[in-house]
Amino acid sequence: MSGTPRPPLSRRQILKGGLALAACAWTPRLNSASAQEPHAGPAPAGLPEVTRWALLSDTHIAADPQDHHGNFYPHRNLQEVIAQISHNPPDGLVIAGDLARLKGKIEDYRSLRTLLTPIAQRPVYLGLGNHDDRDGFLRMFGDTCGDPGTPENKHVILAQAGPVRMIVLDTLRRVNGLSGKLGDSQRVWLETILQSCDDRPTILFLHHTPYTHLLDSRRLFEIIESQGKVKAVVYGHSHRYGYSQVAGIHLLNLPSTSYTIWSDAPVGWVEATLTAHGGEFTLHAIDGDRTLDGQSHTLLWR
């Protein structure tokens, strides 16, 4: 794998199916994993019955491959994770924010881009966290925001992935801050999408920990609790790993791929096999506490 920096992808390259990096909703992009949303009503028939995705968070990639946090080396860890994923490529990959090391420098995103090269033929959906910089990210991965109907100054993704719908939200509030927030415009956008889309099971991805560091968690859950099509919320930020529920909605806290400060927390990623009825989520631990490596959780949708 070459470490030679590459220029940002053009919109034309994205549409041709190179490194499939979605930026905003409503744009026909990527490949079969992304499509125009149908009208409200039952999910269309004839969809694939199962889809398999790699779920990551908190990659914290710096420009310097030797950057480390204690004995953890994020660059090496992501290399190992991508190698595992590439061995049996899933249908796509989601990274739930904190892509960059601390302040979202464009050189950080250039390194991340290079590390993602081995999975260039699969959709890759990148969310933003508190250690990202929206402008730097868009400069490297292509500024395709501004499509009609998307929340202003937010990086959101709306994609169909076989039997499920994925919505990647933007909780970045202040670069290198701690707390996050969706904000009024993004919540209104999300509510509108959920009211108008079909009944396909929907999974939300965001960076910040609900009810801990996501400042408008209460307002988010007021929207999604009444929307039976929302089945799960997947997030990162804490550098921990775990499962819980709120009003029947599954909450999945993804482990960090970079480092952890917790003695009982794994470093790694989660393999998700998703259907219209639920999902099987398997931990792949590469560092930290590997006690639960290979353990699977089966979650049934409400």
Q: Is there a domain that residue 33 lies in?
A: yes
Per the structure, how many domains does the chain have? 1
| Residue 280, domain extent | 19-300
The per-residue pLDDT for 152 is: 81
Q: What is the CATH number of the domain that holds 191?
A: 3.60.21.10
Q: Is there a domain that residue 7 lies in?
A: no
DSSP 118: G
The CA distances from residue 54 to 86, 221, 271, in Å, are: 10, 25, 5
Contact yes or no for 235/210 (Cβ under 8 A): yes
Residue with tokens 């660059």: 75
Which is nearest to 296 in space by CA: 284, 279, 281?
281
Q: Is there a domain that residue 166 lies in?
A: yes
Which is nearest to 9 in space by CA: 113, 145, 91, 134?
113
The per-residue pLDDT for 142 is: 77
Q: Is there a domain that residue 272 lies in?
A: yes
Pairing of the two strands 242-246 and 266-274: unpaired
Which is nearest to 103 in space by CA: 67, 153, 66, 151?
67
pLDDT digits (tens, 9 = 90+) for 134-185: 999 999 987 544 455 678 889 999 999 999 999 999 999 999 999 999 999 9
Q: Is there a domain that residue 13 lies in?
A: no
Q: Is there a domain that residue 8 lies in?
A: no
Residue 275: phi and psi, rounded to 5, are: -130, 180
Token pair listed for 105:
């420098």
The per-residue pLDDT for 45 is: 75
Q: How many residues does the chain have?
A: 302
Which regions of the chain are under pLDDT 50?
1-36, 38, 144-146
